[in-house]
Amino acid sequence: MDPSPAAPASHNTLAESLGGRAIALVGLMGSGKTTVGRRLAAALGLAFRDADAEIEQAAGRSVSDIFAELGEPEFRAGERRVIARLMESGSMVLATGGGAYIDPATRALLREKAVTIWLKADIEILARRVARRDTRPLLRGKDPFEVLTALAEKRHPVYAEADIVVETPDSAHDLAVERIIAALKDYLA
């Protein structure tokens, strides 16, 4: 998609210098991939896609139902297919689900077709944020801080392979967007 004329000229240039690659946001549940991603896309004049929403649409059921009825391996297979399809569509901002980048095949694809950005945040902040919704199957009936701490131990070394790491502040999503744009400018320069 062409960068929108509504985006500032310097941001249009940034979108162009992606050379057709996507921007993929990775990180734990609650790190703001969807909220920040939507704002980042608007700022850069790019399309926004949310992998979980696309999986739900393709499967005709919610992420929770996919986990409950088909199991996590089937969800990961669907996630791989959906992200592979999205990566054929050129530049966009993609919010991935927290486990997508951990899957070796999805990670390899994202590394090839996208500039990957890890939205890194304190576990306390993430635990507070995810407590607002009970739609996440990995958290249902469990203590979010404990689950996220265990996931962080396994996943942080993998997220750290992302092209860019951005520490996200508590609640101020616009600040996160500014930090991402500054980091992207450096990375793409």
Q: Which of 32, 78, 99, 144 binds ligand S3P (CB under 6 A)?
A: 99
Q: Please, which of residues 119-158 interact with ligand S3P by CB under 6 A? A: 136-138
For residue 101, the minimal CB distance to ligand S3P (Å) is 10
Distance in angstroms (rounded) separating the CA atoms of residues 109 and 10: 28
Distance in angstroms (rounded) separating the CA atoms of residues 79 and 94: 13
Contact track, ligand S3P, 38-57, x by CB under 6 A: --------------x-----
Q: Which is nearer to ligand S3P, 15 or 139 (CB)?
A: 139
Binders of ligand S3P: how many residues, by CB under 6 A?
Answer: 10
Q: Which is nearer to ligand S3P, 39 or 136 (CB)?
A: 136
Q: Which is nearer to ligand S3P, 15 or 28 (CB)?
A: 28
For residue 109, the minimal CB distance to ligand S3P (Å) is 16
Q: Which of 32, 37, 78, 98 binds ligand S3P (CB under 6 A)?
A: 98
Closest residue to ligand S3P, based on beta-carbon distance: 97
Radius of gyration (C-alpha) of the chain in whole angstroms: 16
- Following DSSP, what letter does each residue of the chain receive, concatenated? -PPPTTS-HHHHHHHHTTTT-EEEEE-STTS-HHHHHHHHHHHHT--EEEHHHHHHHHHTS-HHHHHHHH-HHHHHHHHHHHHHHHTTS-S-EEEPPTTGGGSHHHHHHHHHHEEEEEEE--HHHHHHHHTT----TTTTTS-HHHHHHHHHHHHHHHHTTSSEEEEPPSS-HHHHHHHHHHHHHHHH-
Q: Which is nearer to ligand S3P, 25 or 115 (CB)?
A: 25
Q: Which is nearer to ligand S3P, 33 or 179 (CB)?
A: 33
Q: Is 169 in the site for ligand S3P (CB under 6 A)?
A: no
Site for ligand S3P, rule CB under 6 A: 29, 33, 52, 63, 97-99, 136-138
